[in-house]
Amino acid sequence: MPIALKVGTSGICIGLRAVKTSSSRNDTIKYLLVERGNNLTAQSGRAKHNLNDEIRAKSGKSKRQDRTKQPWSLDQFVVEPSVNKVRFHDFSLPLELMRGLAAMRFQYCTPIQSESLPYSLNGHDIVGRAQTGTGKTAAFLISIVNDLINYAVEGQRYIGDVRALILAPTRELALQIAEDATKLTRFTDIKVHALVGGLDYGKQLKRIESEHCDILVGTPGRLLDFANNQDIHLDQVEILVIDEADRMLDMGFIPQVRRIVRLTPRKEDRQTLLFSATFSTDVIRLAEQWTEEPVLLEMGADKVTTDTVVQKVYITTAVEKFTLLNQILSQEKVESVMIFANRRDFCRDLYHKLRKKGFKVGILSGDVPQSKRLKTLDSFKNGSIRILVATDVAGRGIHVDDVSHVINYTLPEEPQDYIHRIGRTGRAGHSGVSISFACEDDAFLLEPIEKLLGQKLSCTMPNPKSNLDSLLEQKAKVTADLLSI
């Protein structure tokens, strides 16, 4: 394994890096060993890093003491073997990671996890097609955390050097991934950071400077801001994850993503995991550029939507839509609901009308300040509000357990957005209901959606009470079928 010698302008050796060679994808991933020196300056004009040994030492010591006080073993996390399911126990994961999985009540792998982990845990690149809600976030996080624990960096480190980088198209999705990563790593010394637009740059920078950055999750624009200001450094990235690649394309982020990828090591010298809900020609082309001999996984390739979601279309008129919505939301069995509309003004109008009707409702759209969006999302997660009105900015960025219903108040103009909207319910083995309204203004959008789905959607004239009872019966049947698996 070749050793790269890093020398400051003063001629003093300030670091040694063992670099993974292109001839062996599974070699030990890079280490960074830094030794103290006087007047240290980084190579090639790179801004001098600050060392933060004391903070890291105190933090690590505190966590080690906490773990000593609370000993834990796999005997406290018993999961019985199953013929039809793969357990996380079956992968010989580090004890700290298994404890995190136990705390999150993860027992058996979802299909994307059971298919991808045997490869990603062994250093292979992955290009995966998986629908939202199938557990792909946990799939790549488990692989990252396993790697960072098994190949821990000992000794001093540079602040701003990132070990694992995760790119996400929306702020909500990036923050959700970071939250999941924080939960998964709660019993380790791994540090998780999130960089997204709409939040104070200075506060984010202060946190980056206060502790090391093992896992960094962010949106392309804000990541580039930090990279251009040399507040983060990506040349030591060991694992790169590009999530929702098709959404990156749709939102025009690919030029920014290309610039970020160029700042990371060559694809031969890093592990790359790329996920997308759809495999367009453009997505395949990007995968070829950014991955090295990837394992291709297509989960649910025959069906674009999940079987855990009962789908129904109500034929109505634009004038009658709100009355129909009000009747549906008034039913006792409608618990946690996300309502999607195509435009911000539609969302605002719905939000105010529903509040006047006495519903506890929140709104998520691009014109709502990020801090308020985060508070609204937290309220939705903890049940303080049970109805969330949103544009597609939230279509792929929200992971809330037990969303019972998704309502498409207006049909999406892009068929793929239909998939991601209804993917907010029926997640990770739960069942859900999707209701779409089709009126004289947007009924023509049904055909391209059905073409993408490869099936005809059940359309009916609305009789909210009887139709909803029928949908709930179907949902109960789906739930019973899931429990019997």
Question: What's the CATH number where 246 sits?
Answer: 3.40.50.300
Helix (H, G, I), strand (E, B) or coil at 125: coil
Considering the domain architecture, whether residues 451 and 405 belong to the same structural domain is answered as yes
The answer as to whether 40 is a domain residue is no
Closest alpha carbon to 388 in 334, 318, 438: 334
Query: Which pLDDT score, from 0 to 100, does residue 382 have?
Result: 86
Considering the domain architecture, whether residues 242 and 321 belong to the same structural domain is answered as no
100 touches 268 (CB < 8 A): no
Confidence of residue 336 (pLDDT cuts 50, 70, 90): confident
* Non-local CB neighbours of 309 within 8 Å, separated by 6+ positions: 406, 422, 423, 425, 426, 431, 432, 433, 434
Helix (H, G, I), strand (E, B) or coil at 376: helix
Query: Which pLDDT score, from 0 to 100, does residue 415 have?
Result: 84
* Long-range contacts of residues 67-75, Cβ cutoff 8 Å, at least 24 apart: 67/96, 67/187, 72/99, 72/187, 74/98
Confidence of residue 263 (pLDDT cuts 50, 70, 90): very high
Domain termination site, one of 236, 267, 298: 298
Closest alpha carbon to 362 in 334, 342, 391: 391
Considering the domain architecture, whether residues 181 and 263 belong to the same structural domain is answered as yes
Query: Which pLDDT score, from 0 to 100, does residue 463 have?
Result: 67
Cα(362)–Cα(248) distance, integer angstroms: 26
Query: Which pLDDT score, from 0 to 100, does residue 205 have?
Result: 95
Cα(84)–Cα(75) distance, integer angstroms: 23
pLDDT > 50? residue 24: no
Considering the domain architecture, whether residues 183 and 144 belong to the same structural domain is answered as yes
The answer as to whether 352 is a domain residue is yes
Considering the domain architecture, whether residues 98 and 225 belong to the same structural domain is answered as yes
The answer as to whether 12 is a domain residue is no
* Non-local CB neighbours of 239 within 8 Å, separated by 6+ positions: 143, 144, 147, 163, 164, 165, 270, 271, 272, 273
Domain residues for 85?
A: 53-298
Cα(26)–Cα(124) distance, integer angstroms: 7
Q: What are the strands of the beta sheet with 239-242, ordered from one edge?
A: 192-195, 213-218, 162-167, 239-242, 271-276, 126-129, 295-298
Considering the domain architecture, whether residues 183 and 67 belong to the same structural domain is answered as yes
Per-residue exposure over 31-40, b if at least 16 CB sit within 10 Å of its own CB, e if not: bbebeeeeeb
pLDDT tens per residue, range 65-110: 444 346 898 889 999 998 888 999 999 999 999 999 999 999 999 8
The answer as to whether 337 is a domain residue is yes
Residue with tokens 């055909």: 447
Averaged over 193-207, what is the pLDDT?
Answer: 93
Confidence of residue 423 (pLDDT cuts 50, 70, 90): confident
Alpha-carbon torsion (257, 263, 267, 270), positive or negative: negative
Query: Which pLDDT score, from 0 to 100, does residue 474 have?
Result: 56
Provide DSSP, 171-210.
Answer: HHHHHHHHHHHHHHTTTSS--EEEE-TTS-HHHHHHHHHH
Domain termination site, one of 265, 298, 331: 298
Number of domains in the chain: 2
Domain termination site, one of 298, 329, 353: 298
**Up-side HSE of residue 40: CA atoms within 13 Å toward CB?**
15
* Non-local CB neighbours of 288 within 8 Å, separated by 6+ positions: none
Considering the domain architecture, whether residues 350 and 243 belong to the same structural domain is answered as no
Provide DSSP, 8-23.
Answer: -TTS-EEEEEE---TT
Considering the domain architecture, whether residues 104 and 169 belong to the same structural domain is answered as yes
Among the listed ranges 124-133, 282-291, 420-429, which one has the minimum average pLDDT value? 420-429
Closest alpha carbon to 454 in 235, 278, 333, 314: 278
Averaged over 268-273, what is the pLDDT?
Answer: 96
* Non-local CB neighbours of 142 within 8 Å, separated by 6+ positions: 88, 93, 97, 101, 113, 117, 121, 184
**Up-side HSE of residue 429: CA atoms within 13 Å toward CB?**
13
The answer as to whether 441 is a domain residue is yes
Considering the domain architecture, whether residues 317 and 292 belong to the same structural domain is answered as no
The answer as to whether 3 is a domain residue is no
121 touches 109 (CB < 8 A): no
Residue 167, both tokens: 């790119």
244 touches 277 (CB < 8 A): yes
User: Cα-atom radius of gyration of the chain, to the nearest Å?
Assistant: 24
Cα(137)–Cα(184) distance, integer angstroms: 11
Cα(178)–Cα(184) distance, integer angstroms: 10
Percentage, residues of the chain above pLDDT 70 = 76
Averaged over 104-130, what is the pLDDT?
Answer: 93
Residue 118, both tokens: 């045997």
| More confident of the two residues 36 and 151 | 151
Query: Which pLDDT score, from 0 to 100, does residue 101 have?
Result: 95
344 touches 412 (CB < 8 A): no
Considering the domain architecture, whether residues 178 and 286 belong to the same structural domain is answered as yes
Considering the domain architecture, whether residues 391 and 427 belong to the same structural domain is answered as yes
Query: Which pLDDT score, from 0 to 100, does residue 475 have?
Result: 54
Per-residue exposure over 233-254, b if at least 16 CB sit within 10 Å of its own CB, e if not: bbebbbbbbbbbbbbbbbbebb
Residue 302, both tokens: 């025959």
pLDDT tens per residue, range 433-444: 899 999 998 889
Among the listed ranges 10-14, 92-96, 129-133, 348-352, which one has the minimum average pLDDT value? 10-14
Query: Which pLDDT score, from 0 to 100, does residue 397 have?
Result: 58
Local structure of residue 216 (DSSP, 8 states): E
Helix (H) or strand (E) holding 108: none
Local structure of residue 235 (DSSP, 8 states): T
pLDDT tens per residue, range 163-176: 999 999 988 889 99
Residue 86, both tokens: 């793969």
Query: Which pLDDT score, from 0 to 100, does residue 249 have?
Result: 87
Considering the domain architecture, whether residues 263 and 325 belong to the same structural domain is answered as no
The answer as to whether 172 is a domain residue is yes
pLDDT tens per residue, range 346-399: 999 999 999 999 999 999 887 788 778 888 888 888 889 999 999 886 555 566
The answer as to whether 15 is a domain residue is no
Cα(183)–Cα(40) distance, integer angstroms: 36
